[in-house]
Amino acid sequence: MNAKADFPLRSVLIANRGEIACRVIRTAKAMGMRTIAVYSDADRNALHVKLADEAYAIGPAPARESYLVIDKIIETAKRAKADCIHPGYGFLSERAEFAEACAAAGIVFVGPPPAAIRAMGLKGEAKALMAKANVPVLPGYHGDKQDAKFLKQKAYETGYPVLIKAAAGGGGKGMRRVDKQIDFDNALEAAKREAEASFGNPDVLIEKYVASPRHIEVQVFADRHGNIVHLFERDCSAQRRHQKVIEEAPAPGMPEDVRAHVTKAAIEAARAVNYVGAGTVEFLADGSKGLRADAIWFLEMNTRLQVEHPVTELITGTDLVHWQFLVAAGEPLPLTQEKVKIHGHAVEARIYAEDAARGFLPSTGRLSALRFPVGNGIRVDSGVEAGGEVTPFYDPMIAKLITYGATREQAFGRMSETLGGTVVIGPRSNVEFLKALTDSAEMRAGTVDTGYIERNLEPLTKPAETDFAAAAFAVEELTRREQTKQREAAGRLAASTRRSPWNALDAYDFGGTRDLPVAVLVNGTRFVARVEQKGSALRATVNGVAAAPSEFVEAGDMLVAIREGRQTAVKFAELSSTDLGRASGNGALSAPMHGKVLSVSVAKGDKVAKGQRLMVLEAMKMEHALDAATDGVVMELSVAAGDQVAEGAQLVLIEPEKKPAAKAGA
């Protein structure tokens, strides 16, 4: 993959962070390029900073004060004498003014021309352009006229149900489904208000709503010599709130005639805007009767590298970042269309720091343990490492897990096994949810549409049953370690061991035969385990279940036992401890995550009702309302608006209202 000795791009500044910055650095180094990272205050010790040859600070943690400031990026690139800038994805990657600023500074932008970015930036204008290029477009209205009465008439002409969509954005913001004309006015007002707040542009478009939509996208690549190729399609139908969760290539159930139709349309779309570089043309398909050429329509074009590009790389044997650098340097594409072939199947799962069982609340904190299985057909693209931090300032992605197989069945089987062996300790993660989705009958059959996850949220996010046998195994191992500490102390208990649960033993002798109660936290829930010792042999039970041999991973004072694809985190607790201040019906409300208190709606002494708003917490750029779990009186209020709070910190203590005793005979 090494570039030629006369390759003009000898250094690259990566104007991004996390996983994609690390991904670009790997390829750039393999090509012999000098790599330059930028970082905010929150990312000073981040993995991409460590991997790069050089790194420069660009400002405070908020992206709007660092990664999104064009002048800072350009000035840093000049200072570092970078030949080119790779924008990654997100942040400035689809900002035409950033591409123009690079050109003005004499720095190569590793991406498409500004005109192409602008042409595809507004959905309505892009769809009108595609219609002129004979690319199939979903029925609806994609013009500039925004009169409410006119839009309502266009919705009627399109035929209900319809979607109202923000013209300038994505990700589900500014989007409303309308089933009946009587509901149109309110939905339009809400969509416009949200579009204005999210994108600074209230304009919307109207589209026919597709009942069983599948999201099919085509990877295209173009050079400055007039060559355009496609690298086949991906299926990204497994989505939650219009955000992709699992992607695969090629699309399951894709007939060859439909593949030919959709890839040709994608190339025509790229040609219509004189595209250069890597791009993705996205289509919406009606999957109710299988994929058909007459039921697949242009959705939008992403003028950048996609998060899911690895699945395309694995089935085509290519490195798309390498291609990006070649094209940016003015070289022709390395392969012609006839030489791009599909080999096998690949699937990608996005691992996030979020709690799927609690409405996908974002989670933050130090990664005390992070481990991924290794082996043939397994690829991990990550921007964090064990000991690193998931902060509340950016997208909480931990890693992209990609598996490959000769067949789709093999690729998904490998994904299931790999997710089962993945360990994330510290912030909560969506690994269990991803495994449940991977193992679902519909996903294995390739029949998932974009609404599948929402329709099946409860079974997919239901926490796995606690593996008490694995927990007992971990208790035995923790006990052995504690005994070793006690013996090494030789009667002198150091300060750390004075906090040990074993200190409640009154100088207990670890020889002989004893049956001891021990408090443990199993996946955060408190249990009292029993440890029976006969000589040097130990036998533990948790919740009455005896130990079964398990693999385990160390995470500080915690052991994570892994058995049959399930993970059980176990640590000791004091016998007198409670559930560590977790929110419960007893009136104690604790912070569900690290964040900032935006507002407090009650004061000490206030009488509150169950469900009443107590305060609003901001974390991961989202607002989270915290409500009272019981009727009662506020006895303690530990925070005020503006305070930063740590996960688990007690915020409010409510003395529950005493209910009058029922009268006899009532």
Over 605-621, what HEC string results? CCEECCCCEEEEEEECC
Question: Are 134 and 254 in a shared domain?
Answer: yes
Question: Are 320 and 408 in a shared domain?
Answer: no
Give the C-alpha distances (Å, rounded to integers) separating 534 from 479, 500, 537: 13, 22, 5
Instruction: State mean pLDDT over 78-87.
Output: 98
In a domain, 127, yes or no: yes
Q: Cβ distance 619 to 596 under 8 Å?
A: yes
In this model, does residue 507 exceed pLDDT 50?
no
Alpha helices in 280-395 (DSSP H): 309-316, 320-328
Q: Cβ distance 230 to 218 under 8 Å?
A: yes
Question: Are 444 and 495 in a shared domain?
Answer: no
Q: Which residues pair with 421 in a beta bridge?
A: none
* Residue 483 pLDDT grade (very low, low, confident, very high; cuts 50, 70, 90): confident
Q: Cβ distance 112 to 134 under 8 Å?
A: no
Alpha-carbon distance of 95 to 100, in angstroms, equals 9
In a domain, 510, yes or no: yes
Boundary (domain end) residue, out of 343, 374, 401: 343
Of 150 and 617, the structure prediction assigns the larger pLDDT to 150
Instruction: State mean pLDDT over 211-219.
Output: 94
Q: Find the farthest-apart pair of alpha carbons in the chain and give their distance in angstroms, rounded.
A: 96
Alpha helices in 421-520 (DSSP H): 431-439, 441-445, 452-455, 457-461, 468-489, 495-498
Average pLDDT over the chain, rounded to an integer:
89
In a domain, 551, yes or no: yes
Of 297 and 1, the structure prediction assigns the larger pLDDT to 297
Give the range of the structural domain holding residue 222, as residue numbers without chain letter: 113-138+216-227+249-343
CB-CB neighbours of 487 under 10 Å: 10
The pLDDT, as a whole number, for residue 648 is: 66
Number of domains within the chain:
6
Q: Residue 183 is encoded by which pair of tokens?
A: 């509901």
Alpha-carbon distance of 433 to 169, in angstroms, equals 28
Question: Are 560 and 635 in a shared domain?
Answer: no
Question: Are 189 and 280 in a shared domain?
Answer: no
pLDDT in tens, 108-157: 999 999 999 999 987 778 888 888 888 888 889 988 899 999 999 999 99
pLDDT in tens, 354-396: 999 888 988 999 998 899 999 999 999 999 999 999 999 998 9
Q: What is the DSSP letter of 288?
A: B
pLDDT in tens, 493-505: 444 445 454 443 4
Of 528 and 205, the structure prediction assigns the larger pLDDT to 205
E-strand stretches of 131-276: 140-141, 162-166, 176-178, 204-208, 213-222, 228-240, 243-249
CB-CB neighbours of 180 under 10 Å: 9
Question: Are 348 and 454 in a shared domain?
Answer: yes
In a domain, 604, yes or no: yes
Of the listed ranges 162-171, 324-333, 336-345, 500-509, the one predicted with least confidence: 500-509
Question: Are 106 and 134 in a shared domain?
Answer: no
Of the listed ranges 206-210, 255-259, 313-317, 491-495, the one predicted with least confidence: 491-495
In a domain, 312, yes or no: yes
Of 197 and 5, the structure prediction assigns the larger pLDDT to 197
Helix, strand or coil, per DSSP, at residue 78: helix
In this model, does residue 662 exceed pLDDT 70?
no
* Cα 615–chain centre separation: 26
Q: What is the DSSP letter of 357?
A: G
The CATH number of the domain where 639 resides is what? 2.40.50.100
Question: Are 221 and 281 in a shared domain?
Answer: yes
Strand 397-405 and strand 345-352: the pairing is antiparallel
In a domain, 337, yes or no: yes
The pLDDT, as a whole number, for residue 358 is: 86
Active-site residues, by number, are 304
The pLDDT, as a whole number, for residue 510 is: 46
Cβ contacts of 496 within 8 Å, gap of 6 or more: none
The CATH number of the domain where 48 resides is what? 3.40.50.20
pLDDT in tens, 37-75: 999 999 999 999 999 999 999 999 999 999 999 999 999
In a domain, 4, yes or no: no
Alpha-carbon distance of 250 to 340, in angstroms, equals 13
Instruction: State mean pLDDT over 654-658.
Output: 82
In a domain, 643, yes or no: yes
Which H helix or E strand runs over 397?
Answer: strand 397-405
The CATH number of the domain where 276 resides is what? 3.30.470.20
Q: Cβ distance 502 to 444 under 8 Å?
A: no
Question: Are 131 and 260 in a shared domain?
Answer: yes
Question: Are 121 and 265 in a shared domain?
Answer: yes
- Percent of the chain at pLDDT exceeding 70: 90
The CATH number of the domain where 147 resides is what? 3.30.1490.20
* Residue 199 pLDDT grade (very low, low, confident, very high; cuts 50, 70, 90): confident
Question: Are 363 and 406 in a shared domain?
Answer: yes
* Residue 583 pLDDT grade (very low, low, confident, very high; cuts 50, 70, 90): very low
Q: Residue 174 is encoded by which pair of tokens?
A: 């500014």
Closest CA to 50 of 383, 319, 374, 397: 383
Question: Are 223 and 324 in a shared domain?
Answer: yes
* Cα 234–chain centre separation: 18
CB environment 521-551: b (16+ within 10 A), e (fewer): bbeeeebebbbebeeeebebbbeebebeebe
Sheet of strand 622-627, all strands in order from the earlier edge strand to the far edge:
622-627, 613-619, 595-600, 644-645
The pLDDT, as a whole number, for residue 465 is: 87
